[in-house]
Chains A and B, each alone.
Chain A
Amino acid sequence: MAEIESCFVFNASTKQSIFLCFQASNESLKMELLADVPLLPGEERVIGKYKDIIYICPFNGPVKGRVFITNYRLFFRSVDVDPAVTLNVPLGVISRVEKMGGASSRGENSYGLDITCKDMRNLRFALKQEGHSRRDIFDILFRYAFPLSHGLQLFAFLSQEKYQENGWTVYNPVQEFRRQGLPNDQWRITFLNNNYELCDTYPTILVVPYSASDEDLRKVATFRSRGRIPVLSWIHPENQAVITRCSQPLVGMSGKRNRDDERYLDIIRATNKMTSKLTIFDARPNVNAVANKATGGGYEGEDAYQNAELVFLDIHNIHVMRESLKKLKDIVYPNVEESHWLSSLESTHWLEHIKLVLSGAIQVADKISTGSSVVVHCSDGWDRTAQLTSLAMLMLDSYYRTFRGFQVLLEKEWISFGHKFASRIGHGDKNHADADRSPIFLQFIDCVWQMTKQFPTAFEFNERLLVAVLDHLYSCRFGTFLYNCESARDANEVKMKTVSLWSFINSDRASYINPFYTVEFVHVLYPVASMRHLELWVSYYIRWNPRIRQQVRKGQICSSSTHLLGSTSQDHICILQLCQRGCTSVKMRSYCKMGFNGVEMLLYF
């Protein structure tokens, strides 16, 4: 009797993403025969079998089953239903647990738990009303879903997983800057922030103009919000135009000026001879920038910065994005809005925001490729700024579109430059209504997905990687997305005590490779930021709904091309798998010369 996860799993690739946690190499899996649930090394049961619980599946109705809770996940399996319905939810995705109904509630299945998840779904369980049956399960769930609120550790610190590769070595800042040709005669690497004294939310290694002294940098830091001074993110290999990032200047109501800051920006401008005017992209809408003056912030005034032009990109703040995603969830979960799908989608503004972010990044990339240096900032320079710089870099530099390069991009622009993952996601924290939470990183990944849709052969990685990244953004199984900045990671010894997501991802590279990737170094990729081309990422946002069968995606295309090659002969499947593993054709050819057995051997090793 083969069990299939009929309720939540409706195609291979989603299956993959739900059971990503099972994909760890075989030796790291500890099978618990009794429970029939493979646990991760370091994962421990915190509640026994909870019988007679009813999962109220929004698609198939109530199903009776059993629940286990470990320090990592909630696992549900139905009884008496064929095929069995299973749920496998890392506790990290839970944002809120609530009691539903009271001891005296009437009506079937009215007493139980209501769980809100960060990954676009809600789960409801009904229990028997007798004997306060839900108290235990609620307490345990509440404790382990929000360990930081209860003095417990995040699972990443408990995990004992071992991988061959150490994902923490994926990003080495000096190496990455060297790849970009830095330092050079205009830009130097500084270790001034080695102890996070210049800026506690920046990485230790920074690239700054050669002619700006350490003293200059310290002075500039006093005029930039949280000391986040303009530093280099990327330099164009030919025209030497640079993307620099920072936070807003502390202009305030009185319209303060700072000569050092003005001079510093002019030094940046002067590093590139072609830049007559430095373009400052302020990601915010004009009004917001003005409003920020009231709290001491602001923007670069025309008078003060004469060799610069200021462009507002009209991207809204974290609160707007949070509400937008909330609306999106309302129209896709549990049921997809039927009668007015398109206008409902429009009213969420989610794609409108995606369009604004992409179009901002296009403008940055366009400036750079025409040889003009830019400064990008928003308020603090860790949300919209990270979106803009990383997307522009993705457009400009084909390296970031490779499997490895993308990891470097995330490590660099998001993790090391202090996108506040802990605050934005709220890892292990019970305060679900925290105003600091916002799906900024999800929005960025959505933008990347939009780009992969428009350029199906330009990215070495596939959609599954993007989904896996998002799943582990919440899961707390890896240390990668924990904490707000490098200094906090250092203080908590993240690299010592946790496993990197990239250890896991890189141990299963083949699953995340786009078989149609075509190496092309030269061109800048400009996506089209028009609603005509933007679409809702159905296979992420609506993946829990079995009715919306994923349309032909890469997985299907792969399998069909396998067919193409003649389903009878295994050799072609092998070759295709080799393709998928990213082998170059030269390699393929040499494999094939070895004959079938050779190919086969290579496949199994």
Chain B
Amino acid sequence: MLSGGGGGSGGGGGGAGGGGGAGGGSGGGRSPKPSFVSYVTPEEINLTEKEISRKEKQPDLLQGEVIFCSASPIRKCTQDDFSQRGIFGSLFCTNFRISFISDETQLEEEEGQVFKNKLYGENDIPLTCVDNIYRGFDEKKKLITSGSVRNKYPSKIIIHCKDLRVFQFSLAFAKEEDAKKIFQGIVHHCLEPKSLKCIFAFSYSEKMTFSSENQTKLKTVMFDSMVDWAQEMKRTKGNCKLVSANADFNISTKYIWCWSHHSGCALFKTASLPLMQEDGCSQSYRTYMERYCTCVKTEELPETLPTIQDIQQSYNKFKQFFLVDNTTEFWMSDVKWFSSLENSGWLDIIRQCLTKAVEVVECLENENTNVLIMEEEGSDLCCVISSLVQVMLDPHFRTLEGFQSLVQKEWVAGGHHFLDRCNYLHKDKESPVFLLFLECVWQLLQQYAPAFQFSETYLTVLSDSVDVSVFSTFLFNSPHHRATTIQPVSLLAQKGPLNLPTVWDWSVQFNSAAQDFFTNPLYVEKSRQDKVPRKTFRPKHQRHQSLPSTAFKSSPKKSFFKDETDSLKKMLRVKRISRWLNPTDLTQSTTREFYEAWQRKPLDYHGLLLPCVDGPALRVWAQRYLRWLPEVQIFGGGAMTLEKKLVDLLAEVRELRGKLDWHCSVDFSHRGAAALAGSSVRLSSAFPFFVSRTWSFKPAIPSCLQKNLITGTFADKEDEDSECLGVI
């Protein structure tokens, strides 16, 4: 009965651009389509009839996307239903994604569906977004590893995604051959090691032309040219000389200027130096240090921060709390939520990073010393700390464009091993270091919302984009790696240089209405008036005590780098520079004082921001982690309701202002969630990510409450009153 389905592997979709003729056959005078819900047993389904209507349904393929295999009918088990209901449809595996196409007519473009990703839909999983695949049987599940698949296939597969969605597909209704093929295809493409060239971005961009206009329209500074660096240095009034010696990427150890404080001191990062014997080199080093860096504090990050492996392990534990397969499991885990959260250690890692960044900020801000942060490769925690420091110190990096430039500067140009850390090629070097940074920024954002131009939705989307495998931003291990990869590919490509899209071109994923969700309506733009006098809050004398900034600037000695490349190289090979001056506990107490002193001052959203890292202050990024869990949807509530109200109020004030004709020339740039303004969409806490179709009026009622909540002490005690109840 089931012949072929969507065709075997191979070139199904091709250039046609997907299911163009979807409207055609289904309406052809046939009896009303059966709805495939639980009360219809699979046997009753008239498969032949289904077959015909299914044929027309194929995923809308992207440029360069090719279908590998497909199977049908596949039942997608939905989580939010009480029964074991599901939707029937077809499952496809392409070179970009796993795609489930429902047989039921999609109620597309519903109200509230403003937030649609152009690259993949709610039933699509980009291959690189697949985290784990499980074999499901009798309410249990078993992890599938790349080697373990032989000729078998399970009746049910459970896919855990990196963006924390959970899919369950039942393969039991498809033809054995198809089921086997799709299962093996999915496992192969999602779990087996592969080569970089197989990543979808390459075939995608071969076919697509991302006009460089698009790129130049972006205000994000990419830090791929000397000019960008020079500009940035000018902006921060930094006084380091630019070195182009590394143009050929021959200095393996990177030693990078990050940012200059307005007092003249600067932040640098580097990979740890190989230990060398004391030879002539150290002599030259000593003189070098005497000449150029009289005050540098070195911070070796691995000594106080968790390792890359720790981060990965902790996150693995943490994310499990959100990859919930069913409601019972959810409420079971709810009872021990706080202690499980603590055991995962994830919030603690965030705390450690924030604390470390505050320490560095203290050095720059209070002591005006140069700071050099070190780490073995100089491209993981160094990136986290250096970029956090800059977010805290420099309001420019709290704007949308500024933040994107920061990621370009510290992470992309800074050589973070995105490819390895994101595990696109399944090579076991995965670690959510970039996510950790976003987490830390989110903590700052939720503590000081008005200081950030971007919203938490922006951060969530950015964290999702990492796993989409289309963007050059996350595709390489370093600029060098990028250059060496792209060159040969470009030579082969006929259309000239390969032009991979950057993630910052948000139009690749979202239309402009959806992009409105990226701006934070609470953001307080710096008013022109504010710019000058605000500084008076700061105790100026303190800064000048150590090093008057003017002296600092005029003295070439204080400059960290000269363009003497040779001596630079020598210096790089030298052992250690200096130890952190304070022992750790002393540091902690001064950092505490530093925080408290800062806290006593009036809060300036355009000045220094320090996070509160005490237990109650650090939270779970609810939007990112809870958005797909039906049990915790707050219908009619959540942060977005507040945002919508604010946008409405702003619109109203703007209108009133127009009527009153006061200062009507002022243009408002606050757009946050503008798409919602005036609409009557009923929101939920998962909006805009998850829009419930079937409006559930049924509240979630916790089960599995901890029955023996208290130890016997009061259970036997009389209930409300010590007086006896009169027995009447």
Contact = CB atoms under 8 A, between A and B. Distances in A.
Contacts of A536: 616
Nearest to A532: B632
A380 to B, nearest CB: 5
Contacts of B721: 379-380, 436
B595 to A, nearest CB: 8
B699 to A, nearest CB: 4
Given A516-B645, A552-B446, A225 B524 contact: no
A520 B645 CA distance: 12
A36 to B, nearest CB: 23
A58 interface: no
B717 interface: yes
A484 B91 CA distance: 66
Interface string B684-722: 010000000000011111100111011001111111111
B626 interface: yes
A454 interface: yes
A538 interface: yes
B337 A531 contact: yes
Nearest to A321: B714
A548 B522 contact: no
Given A435-B722, A548-B614, A565-B650, A355 B660 contact: no
B637 A456 contact: yes
B622 interface: yes
Contacts of A342: 338-339, 341-342, 347, 615
Given A314-B707, A567-B527, A528 B634 contact: yes
Interface string A271-312: 000000000000011011001100111000000000000000
A223 B622 CA distance: 49
A211 interface: no
A349 B631 CA distance: 21
A560 B524 contact: yes
A549 interface: yes
A323 B711 CA distance: 12
A515 B646 CA distance: 9
Interface in B572-621: 596, 599-600, 605, 612, 614-617, 619-620
A595 B634 contact: no
A319 interface: yes
B164 interface: no
A502 interface: no
A552 B450 contact: yes
Contacts of A67: none
Contacts of A225: 725
Interface in B622-666: 622, 626, 629, 631-639, 641-642, 644-646, 649-650, 652-653, 656-657, 659-660, 662-663, 666
B727 interface: yes
Interface in B433-473: 446-450
Contacts of B722: 435-436
Contacts of B631: 528, 530
Contacts of A520: 636
B107 interface: no
Contacts of B649: 515-516, 561, 579
A206 B267 CA distance: 73
A548 B616 CA distance: 8
Contacts of B225: none
Contacts of A250: 725, 727-728
A174 interface: no
Interface in A539-577: 542, 546-549, 551-552, 556-557, 560-561, 563-569, 571-572, 575-576
A19 B41 CA distance: 68
Interface stretch (A117-125, A332-340, A463-471): A332-340
A561 B646 contact: yes
Interface stretch (A93-101, A360-368, A475-483): A360-368
Contacts of A365: 699
B663 A566 contact: yes
B709 A352 contact: yes
Q: Classify the interface of chain B: helix, strand, loop or mixed.
A: loop
Nearest to A570: B662
Nearest to B637: A455
Contacts of A394: none
B158 to A, nearest CB: 21
Residue of B448, B523, B697, B714 ringed by the most chain A CB atoms within 10 A:
B714
Contacts of A349: 709-710
A486 interface: no
A25 interface: no
A535 B656 CA distance: 38
A300 B529 CA distance: 71
Contact of A572 (B336, B653, B717): B653
A369 B522 contact: no
B483 interface: no
B702 A516 contact: no
Contact of A456 (B641, B698, B713): B641
Contact of A352 (B447, B450, B634, B706): B706
A551 B600 CA distance: 15
B625 to A, nearest CB: 8
Residue of A288, A366, A589 ringed by the most chain B CB atoms within 10 A:
A288
B702 A355 contact: yes
Contact of B725 (A297, A458, A527): A297
B147 interface: no
Contacts of B637: 454-456, 458, 525, 527
A346 B612 contact: no
A341 B616 contact: yes
A349 B714 CA distance: 14
Nearest to B529: A568
A132 interface: no
A291 B614 CA distance: 42
Given A530-B632, A531-B338, A575-B653, A379 B700 contact: no
Contacts of A560: 449-450, 522, 524, 605
Contact of B717 (A319, A535, A595): A319
Contact of A516 (B331, B599, B632, B642): B642
A565 B685 contact: no
A385 B636 CA distance: 26
Contact of A340 (B342, B522, B670): B342
Interface in B514-539: 521-524, 527, 529-530
B357 to A, nearest CB: 17
A97 to B, nearest CB: 24
Contacts of B662: 569, 571, 596
Given A528-B633, A532-B337, A566 B527 contact: yes
A356 interface: yes
B726 interface: yes
Given A6-B600, A547-B614, A560-B605, A566 B720 contact: no
Contacts of A566: 527, 663, 666
A317 B447 contact: no
Contacts of A585: 652
Contact of A359 (B622, B705, B727): B705
A571 B660 contact: yes
B702 A359 contact: yes
A516 B646 contact: yes
Given A457-B641, A516-B642, A338 B714 contact: no
B724 interface: yes
B131 interface: no
B469 to A, nearest CB: 30
Contacts of B448: 552
15 contacts: A6-B600, A10-B599, A314-B705, A314-B709, A337-B615, A338-B615, A346-B337, A349-B710, A436-B721, A520-B636, A532-B620, A538-B616, A551-B612, A567-B530, A585-B652
Given A336-B616, A456-B645, A566-B666, 15 more contacts: A292-B718, A317-B714, A319-B717, A346-B337, A349-B710, A351-B338, A366-B698, A454-B637, A523-B682, A530-B331, A530-B631, A532-B629, A557-B646, A567-B530, A571-B657
Please name the 5 residue pairs, one residue from A and one from B, whose CB atoms are nearest each other, closest first. A341-B615, A526-B699, A296-B727, A560-B450, A531-B337
